[in-house]
A and B are shown apart, each in its own frame.
Chain A
Amino acid sequence: MYGALWRIMPGPLWLRILLLLLFFAAVLAALVLFVFPWLNSFVNVNDVTVGT
């Protein structure tokens, strides 16, 4: 999986590393901005009121 990702990338080593970092930054941003807040609405481990 990650081996294939490394092989399909073009260019010399430094470009590959740069592309990889950019790719992971994009994935991380998507997670934090969209996926995690959505996921968080299903996770409710902390009821704080009495009588529920």
Chain B
Amino acid sequence: METDRRGEVHAGALKRRKRVSVVGIAGELFITVGALVFLFLGWQLWLNDLIVGADQDKAGSALGESWSTAISAHQHTTPGATFDDPVVAVAPGDAVKFAVMYVPRFGSDFARSISEGVETAKVLDKNGIGHYPGTQMPGQVGNFAVAAHRTTHGAPFKPLASLQVGDKIYVQTPDGYYTYGFRGLEYVRPSGVGVLDPVPQFAGVAPTDRILTMTSCNPMFAASERIIAYAALESWQPISAGAPAAIAAAVLAKS
């Protein structure tokens, strides 16, 4: 009896399996959707980051090189010369690329353009680093504040937390090279606009230093806080003096 019954059940299951079952299709759909989600995450957090990041490095490098080679040879200044106060440019129009940032700590080929504005879709997703409108310009007394993604879209500021005191951050414009030295990190709420003050976190105080402020999301892959990196201007040299040695290769890379 038992054997018979078992045999019956077995045969029935085989017969049923041949037909298309709702549960079977639903199961396959779920597995497919699950695989697609993981594919998307892999693409968004890894593959697309590599592709977009390499594109941004290439574009930044090309922009920097076009500025450094735009001057004729006889305009070059003698090595070791000292220079006056840095040239301060006027803020350009929305989404216009006006500077290139080089950070050796982020990689020897790190060269990302800085555009005016911090709109996500217009600037941060496409161009990389964005400059807070209304904050000061490179080399200006006060606060030159920028923002960039820490994950996805090329993630220019992915290694922001790896900066160490004294690390150089180079900003190149058509006028010259502004060398900032990293000073420290701060973590604030998303509403913490005090970091954009001419003297960060001291509203209304007249600035005397030339500060660079970089903001990004914290923790990584989330946005409940902001990570802030501060740097102070250490030196400046006009474009005719050539690129600082540490970034000379990056400025002329991929030509």
Q: Which A residues contact B (CB, under 8 angstroms)?
A: 1-2, 4, 28, 31-32, 36-37, 39-41, 43-52
Contacts and interface: CB of A to CB of B under 8 A. Distances in A.
Interface of B: 20, 24-25, 28-29, 36, 39-40, 43-44, 47-48, 118, 120-121, 124, 130, 132, 147-152, 157, 188, 190-193, 195-196, 215-217, 221-223, 226, 228
A20 to B, nearest CB: 14
Pick from B44, B188, B195, B228 the residue with the most CB of A within 10 Å: B44
Contact of B48 (A28, A36, A48, A50): A36
Given A1-B29, A36-B48, A39-B40, A47 B120 contact: yes
B147 A48 contact: yes
B215 A49 contact: yes
B44 A40 contact: yes
B147 A4 contact: no
Contact of A50 (B39, B149, B215): B215
Contacts of A48: 118, 124, 147-150, 157, 215-217, 223, 226
Question: Chain A binding site: helix, strand, loop or mixed by DSSP?
Answer: loop
B126 to A, nearest CB: 11
Question: Chain B binding site: helix, strand, loop or mixed by DSSP?
Answer: mixed
Contacts, number: 77
Contacts of B47: 32
B120 A50 contact: no
B218 to A, nearest CB: 9
A43 B37 CA distance: 13
B195 A50 contact: yes
Given A2-B28, A46-B223, 4 more contacts: A1-B24, A48-B124, A48-B217, A49-B118
A45 B48 CA distance: 16
Contacts of A49: 118, 124, 130, 132, 147, 215, 226
Contacts of B215: 48-50
A1 B188 contact: no
Given A32-B43, A39-B40, A51-B196, A46 B190 contact: no
Contacts of B121: 41
Nearest to A44: B120
B190 A52 contact: yes
